[in-house]
Amino acid sequence: MKVSRTVLKTSLYWQLYRLSLTLRWQISEEANHVESYLFILESFGLDEQGQGQIFNLYQDMPDLVEKINWNIEFANNAATIDAPKGSVESTQALLEDLISFYIFEYMFFPLGFSQIFALARQGKLRNTAQQYSYIWRDESLHAANGLWMIQQICRENPKVWNVAMKKRAREVINEAVKLEISHVHAVMPDGGILGFSIKSYIKYAEFLADKICEQLGIKVLFGTREHPMPWISEYELNHEVNFFEGRVREYQTGSQLSWD
């Protein structure tokens, strides 16, 4: 069905159209990420049953279940809100959903990946860390598109981005940090791993939360200006790299590693 330019330029329709295109593109990349995770698990010698156990592990950990459900609740609310399409209320619900999506891509992924990157610094799981670097590059692009959508909605609907909505955005970001604090205590119950403490993880969460606040043009929550883990930039791909042509990081020799 052809859509006239007049209809296409209608604010709400245009927002949903762009969102639909963005999500279709992201779905294809997420499918590749699933294949990457499966490849990593296969490399550990896990059969199909073992892989399924890993993917379902979050269902047995309440802190992880809460983190996943937190994001889903925003999507469900945006889809089922009892308000006319295009109204301030429905647009704010969509905006909340996009903010939670942006947090997921911009904050949750690099925080989760940071544990693997910390192990790679010790000479362990180097190839896994490289796979994660490629995935992180994609997630960063997803985050950038999410931010662009948020900014476009706010620019085209100034009544939506009001004082109450800005306050709500800060609350959502703060909720995300609390979820990350619960998450890290669940996955690193012994206080951290070599060279990477829970304290550093939480500081990184607060640093990213403040960055999100700045990008949304709202008051920061924690005032964490200095990056607590600048070494993580070593694993951030800011340009296109061919997997087979990219330079492999130097591996530490076996004699330097402790496999206890």
Nearest to 169 by CA among 210, 211, 213: 213
Tell me whether residue 259 is in a domain.
Answer: no
**For residue 2, pLDDT beyond 80:** no
Kindly state whether residue 6 falls inside one of the protein's structural domains. Answer: no
Whether residue 1 is predicted with pLDDT greater than 50 in this model: the reply is no
Among 89-93, 191-195, 200-204, the minimum mean pLDDT is found in 191-195
pLDDT at 256 over 80: no
Q: Judge residue 253's burial from the number of C-beta atoms within 10 Å of its C-beta, 0-12 exposed, 13-18 middle, 19 or more buried.
A: exposed
Let me know if residue 133 belongs to a domain.
yes
pLDDT in tens, 53-104: 887 877 788 888 898 899 999 999 999 999 988 899 999 999 999 999 999 9
Is 116 contained in some domain?
yes
What does the pLDDT average to over 220-239? Answer: 87
**Residue 260 pLDDT exceeds 50:** no
- pLDDT > 70: what percent of the chain? 84
Q: Which residue has the higher pLDDT, 188 or 70?
A: 70
Domains of the chain: total: 1
Residue 164 in this model has a pLDDT that exceeds 90: yes
User: pLDDT tens, 100-131?
Assistant: 999 999 999 999 999 999 999 888 988 889 98
pLDDT at 5 over 50: yes
Q: Which domain range does residue 52 map to?
A: 11-242
Q: How confident is the model at residue 32 (pLDDT cuts 50, 70, 90)?
A: confident
CATH number of the domain enclosing 190: 1.10.620.20
Flag whether 145 is in a domain.
yes
* pTM assigned to the model: 0.80
Q: Is residue 31 part of a domain?
A: yes
* Residue 3 located in a structural domain: no
Handedness of CA 199, 118, 30, 227 (dihedral sign): positive
Q: Is residue 123 part of a domain?
A: yes
